[in-house]
């Protein structure tokens, strides 16, 4: 077994000699202010928390910054043919590739008037379930659990809690196999196309999948029990905010629905701009969003708060066991909402596989579009929250304009408000305790910053590889 990175890690960062890191910055800063660098790890992409600490140890402010390199996906789409678009946007994020493809296909099909079959919808719903399970388990087990257990990564847990770790890893393997059987692979799947699929799972594939999903349920029960014993490790913190997610009159909305909010009326997806209202702030780096309040939350907890009544029975029982109730305002518990969703996703996927088996899988050609200029919007719930794609096509079926609003960008403002509200709780904590608590908060949102199609590097100083908690001590 590898030596854990823990020992080297705690000792090394301060000695980091790379001129590309901001470590060398403090010497140039006038006044008594000191900047110290730490690494916020176990998140996708790059993000920093900057903490200003007064001379007496009180924390005055915390800031959330995103210095990820911008990638210009919306511009890259201009002029591209409708058959390529979902394969390009898939590359926005390696974790939510399926979700990006689905939102993209919905927008394209809306714009070009393509109507797909019920079987296509069922297969796409399954693909979305596979991705949610995969991403949630990655977040819960690999990214958050180490914090709760007081270690640096899942690797030491493989020795101390072998049974649990193997169960988590086993469930994740199932999730990857799940997406392989439905859409080809987990990351940048090949089978989905405007109008349908290029290849289909066989009946045997579906039977295999069903067996795997049924076998996963007890492992998830184990995970629920395991986390039920860890609930006191989550920091106590409450801040009510606006919760935004897809809603539907008949189901726990993931694949489609209307835009719902805890503080606002329901809106059709095409009116997404009235909800997201993107804006840019100079000190931080991604486009931020706000609706009714100063910020809103998307993701598993927002979905749970709006739609918990529609959870499948086993998922409802899991929520009860974990003590998660509708109206929960502690953002640290997003992870717990994700765990409840894992149970729901597997339960619902089993019923959908059954439906496909009863109907019998048909190899159908993708529905064809009638190419004419048009606009269309798509929205799906991806692991980190509601994702919008909006396209305008020209007469040749090529993109004239594209807009993608990514869940993590919608959460940035809310992360900042949470940090503001957390500040009074932070004074007197040691640097290590501060770092852990702040990292845990940001990590709870499971920020997928590589996703952020439009992020601006306003600082121009980041070293990219190292996400950081940075302390300004006065």
Binders of another protein among 260-289, rule CB under 8 A? 280, 282
The binder of another protein chosen from 82, 197, 226, 288 (CB under 8 A): 197
What part of residues 314-343 is at the interface with another protein (CB under 8 A)?
Answer: none
Task: Classify burial at 255, counting beta carbons within 10 Å of its beta carbon; exposed 0-12, middle 13-18, buried 19 or more.
Answer: buried
Q: Is 188 an interacting residue with respect to another protein (CB under 8 A)?
A: yes
- Look up residue 154 and give its two tokens: 């899942």
Q: Identify the H or E element spanning 154.
A: helix 154-160
Q: Is 378 an interacting residue with respect to another protein (CB under 8 A)?
A: no
> Which of helix, strand or coil describes residue 245?
strand
Distance CA 9, CA 465 (A): 15
The binder of another protein chosen from 24, 26, 52, 70 (CB under 8 A): 70
DSSP state for residue 91 in the 8-state scheme: T
Q: Is 421 an interacting residue with respect to another protein (CB under 8 A)?
A: no
What part of residues 164-183 is at the interface with another protein (CB under 8 A)?
Answer: 166, 169, 172-173, 176
Q: Is 17 an interacting residue with respect to another protein (CB under 8 A)?
A: yes
What part of residues 114-143 is at the interface with another protein (CB under 8 A)?
Answer: 138, 142-143
Stretch that binds another protein, among 26-34, 92-100, 352-360, 418-426 (CB under 8 A): 92-100
Stretch that binds another protein, among 5-13, 121-129, 202-210, 419-427 (CB under 8 A): 5-13
- Look up residue 392 and give its two tokens: 């305008």
Q: Is 406 an interacting residue with respect to another protein (CB under 8 A)?
A: no
The binder of another protein chosen from 41, 117, 208, 329 (CB under 8 A): 41
Stretch that binds another protein, among 39-47, 204-212, 306-314, 329-337 (CB under 8 A): 39-47
The binder of another protein chosen from 129, 344, 466, 470 (CB under 8 A): 466
Residues touching another protein, count (CB under 8 A): 83
Helical axes 334-359 vs 203-228, angle rounded to 10°: 160
Least separation, in Å, of the C-beta of 221 and another protein? 21
Stretch that binds another protein, among 14-22, 343-351, 376-384, 406-414 (CB under 8 A): 14-22
Backbone angles phi, psi at 421, to 5 degrees: -70, -25
Backbone angles phi, psi at 314, to 5 degrees: -65, -35
DSSP letter string over 6-68? HHHHHHSGGG---TTSGGGHHHHS-SS-EEEEEE--SSBS--EEEEEE-TTS-EEEEEEE--P
Stretch that binds another protein, among 68-76, 112-120, 225-233, 236-244 (CB under 8 A): 68-76
Q: What is the separation, in whole angstroms, between the first and last Cα of the chain?
A: 43
């Amino acid at each position: 077994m590898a030596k854990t990175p823990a020992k080297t890690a705690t000792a090394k960062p301060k000695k980091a000699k790379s001129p590309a890191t901001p470590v060398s910055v403090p010497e140039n800063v006038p006044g008594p202010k000191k900047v110290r660098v730490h690494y916020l790890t176990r998140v996708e992409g790059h993000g920093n928390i900057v903490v200003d600490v007064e001379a007496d140890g009180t924390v005055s402010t915390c800031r959330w910054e995103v210095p990820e390199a911008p990638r210009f996906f919306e511009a890259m789409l201009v002029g591209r043919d409708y058959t390529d678009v979902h394969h390009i946007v898939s590359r926005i994020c390696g974790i939510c590739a399926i979700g990006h493809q689905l939102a993209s296909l919905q927008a394209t099909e809306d714009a070009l008037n393509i109507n797909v079959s019920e079987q296509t919808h069922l297969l796409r719903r399954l693909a979305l379930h596979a991705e949610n399970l995969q991403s949630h388990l990655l977040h819960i087990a690999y990214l958050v659990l180490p914090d709760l257990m007081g270690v640096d990564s899942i690797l030491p847990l493989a020795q101390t809690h072998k049974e649990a770790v193997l169960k988590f890893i086993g469930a994740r393997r199932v999730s990857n196999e799940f997406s392989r059987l439905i859409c080809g692979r987990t990351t940048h799947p090949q089978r989905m196309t405007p109008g349908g699929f290029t290849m289909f799972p066989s009946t045997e594939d579906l039977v295999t999948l069903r067996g795997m999903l049924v076998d996963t349920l007890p492992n998830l029960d184990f995970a629920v029990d395991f986390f039920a014993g860890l609930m006191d490790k989550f920091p106590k913190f409450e801040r009510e905010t606006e919760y935004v997610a897809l809603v539907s009159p008949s189901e726990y909305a993931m694949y489609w629905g209307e835009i719902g909010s805890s503080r606002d009326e329901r809106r059709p997806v095409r009116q997404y701009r009235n909800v997201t209202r993107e804006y840019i702030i100079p000190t931080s780096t991604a486009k931020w969003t706000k609706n009714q309040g100063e910020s809103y939350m998307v993701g598993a907890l927002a979905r749970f708060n709006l739609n918990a009544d529609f959870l499948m029975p086993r998922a409802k029982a899991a929520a009860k066991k974990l003590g998660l109730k509708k109206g929960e305002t502690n953002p640290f518990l997003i992870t717990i909402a994700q765990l409840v969703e894992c149970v729901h996703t597997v339960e619902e996927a089993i019923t959908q596989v059954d439906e496909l088996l009863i109907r019998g899988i048909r190899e159908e050609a993708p529905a064809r579009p009638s190419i004419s200029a048009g606009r269309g919007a798509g929205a799906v719930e991806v692991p980190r929250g509601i994702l919008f794609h909006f396209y305008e096509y020209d007469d040749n079926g090529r993109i004239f304009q594209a807009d993608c609003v990514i869940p993590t960008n919608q959460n940035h403002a809310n992360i900042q408000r949470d940090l503001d509200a957390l500040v009074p709780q932070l004074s007197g904590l040691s640097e290590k305790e501060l770092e852990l608590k702040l990292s845990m908060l940001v990590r709870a949102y499971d920020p997928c910053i590589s996703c952020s199609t439009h992020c601006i590097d306003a600082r121009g100083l980041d070293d990219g590889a190292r996400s950081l908690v940075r302390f300004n001590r006065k």
